[in-house]
Amino acid sequence: MIVIPAVDLKDGRCVRLSQGRMDQESVYSEDPVGMAKWWESKGAERLHVVDLNGAATGKPFHRSLIKEIARSIQIPLEVGGGIRDLSTIEDYLSDGVRWVILGTAAIRNRPFIQVACHHFPERVILGIDAKEGKVAIQGWNEIVSFEAIDLAKQFEGIGLSAIIFTDVERDGMGTGLNVESTQKLARSVSTPVIASGGVSRIEDIEQLMELELDGVIGVIVGRALYTGKLDLEEAIRIARGRS
């Protein structure tokens, strides 16, 4: 299992939100590029980058900054937030981003994600953010009637690299992962699942490792790393199955 540090970008800074609320931010760095380098130096094998302004407005806001991050580190990037068309995907991939994350686009324009997977096979990740089992879109500001599991099933077999499943209510709260919901979603599809939202201690990583056979291949960690509640090097060692 892979542990993936999160670098969330808002107004040019590295922040963490509570339950996805743009007005509930904690600023952890004025230098996101330096932060990305720091996580790489600590052993990160992959980085999760979200353009929060882009997610809220529906178009990229931090593209130049993300490009700089991609060129400054050797590990691969997965990037989400405000990606709504093929040209944006192509731009990010040409800038050195390994995977793009599509979330709101899957609801607003479902055929788009299928076309994206056709043009860029294994380079597209479906981001499913849920609140009480319902899908949250538009920077988590809107809850729609779709069940997260039903949405995931709709995109089976189209060439997705993975699904990132986030429990919105736990994200940034340090209350632990929603292991039950993550397991249910992973068991319902054949696409690999990356868990997100609420990791606060090493026990969360150990608990999640029990879901590897269900198809959970990784976990995204944010606030717990920035506050020091979770040590990245220790988390990586545990996730790799080493004592």
- Three-state secondary-structure class, residue 162: strand
Measured in degrees and rounded to the nearest 5, phi and psi for residue 10 equal: -140, 120
Ranges in the chain, pLDDT < 70: 18-25, 104, 132-134, 136-145, 168-176, 242-243
pLDDT value, residue 219:
96
Tokens of 192: 């690999």
Top-level class of domain 2-239 = alpha beta
Query: Is-contact 167 132, C-beta < 8 A?
Result: no
- Enumerate long-range contacts of 106-110, CB under 8 Å, 24 or more apart: 106/151, 106/155, 107/135, 107/137, 107/144, 107/146, 107/151, 108/84, 108/137, 109/84, 110/154
Q: Tell me what pLDDT residue 198 has.
A: 83
Q: Which of 34, 43, 145, 129 is nearest to 80 (CA)?
A: 129
Is the separation of the CB atoms in 144 and 134 below 8 Å?
Answer: yes
pTM: 0.90
Distances (CA, A) of 178 to 11, 183, 185, 195: 29, 9, 11, 9
Which of 101, 86, 91 has its CA nearest to residue 52? 101
Q: Active-site residue among 23, 51, 85, 129? A: 129
129 is catalytic: yes
d(CA 108, CA 71) in angstroms, rounded, equals: 31
- 70: CB partners within 8 A, 6+ apart: 77, 95, 96, 97
Q: What is the pLDDT of residue 109?
A: 83
Question: What residues contact residue 228 under an 8 Å CB cut-off, 6+ apart?
Answer: none
